Amino acid sequence: MSRFNGAAMIITGAARGIGAATSRLAAAEGARLLLTDIIADELEALRASIVSAGGTARAMVVDASSEAGADAMVADCVAAYGRLDVAVNNAGIMQPEVATVSEASLEMWQRVMAVNLTGVFLCCRAELRQMVAQGGGVIVNMASIGGITGLNGAPAYAASKHGVVGLTRSIALDYARHGIRCNAICPSGTDTPMVEQAGRLVESYIGDRMKTNPGLDPNSLTPAKIQGLLGRNATPEEQAEGILWLASSQSSFVTGITLPVDGGWTAF
């Protein structure tokens, strides 16, 4: 298939995990890519591998939570490719520590919000300005299963991803008249470095709590349904397929939705 033959596409948080898988699949289907991340060496390695396989890709080191960075990446894409057809706002971070609301620091809360919510807002704002000017486009925002459910010990992360869902729906309402579709994808556990880091944090958190309260049920500290009905994590490629379906003309009558790619998590 060539669902993106010649389409100009930005993918943020592209260097690893879901972002890298989405970039490879999009390039194989003909997209002209601008890949952004803060991890310069892995980003460049991804760009080089795509180009060596016959794809078209540029790489740009961008802090997705920066207003100047968001504006600059859109300007670079338009300068290189003449337009911006698809934007995948994938950059984000996990809550860096397991903490309930009463335990959480303001600094941690603000950092998660700055990247996961304000960063998506800034990217969307820059992308929408270009898409309105050119007469259309597609945006896919990275939310999370934590954007439609609660998450034990991760209130900042869950709140930020709920915010992405609300932002996505508002964009869909405001910009449909401009020929712009906007949707969000909500992954559950996926085999990525970020999820592996989160798993280690949770294990450490449970261990600490069990030391101070040996009678505590560890299942009370984590969702029992963490891997959904299928009993495993997703692969990054499975999440990428959902993203690219939302980004393609195959979903041309779909806007304002949150698509759970969650192995049945939300069926519980």
Catalytic residue among 81, 157, 175, 205: 157
Active site residue 81: no
Cα–Cα–Cα angle for 114, 193, 162, nearest 5°? 40
Q: CA 142 to CA 164: how far, in whole Å?
A: 8
pTM surpassing 0.85? Answer: yes
Q: What is the pLDDT along the chain (268 residues), one digit of tens a residue?
A: 589 999 999 999 999 999 999 999 999 999 999 999 999 999 999 999 999 999 999 999 999 899 999 999 999 999 999 999 999 999 999 888 888 899 999 999 999 999 999 999 999 999 999 999 999 999 999 999 899 988 888 899 999 999 999 999 999 999 999 999 999 999 988 786 665 554 544 445 445 444 555 655 655 555 545 566 677 788 899 999 999 999 999 999 999 999 999 888 888 7
Q: CA 236 to CA 204: how far, in whole Å?
A: 25
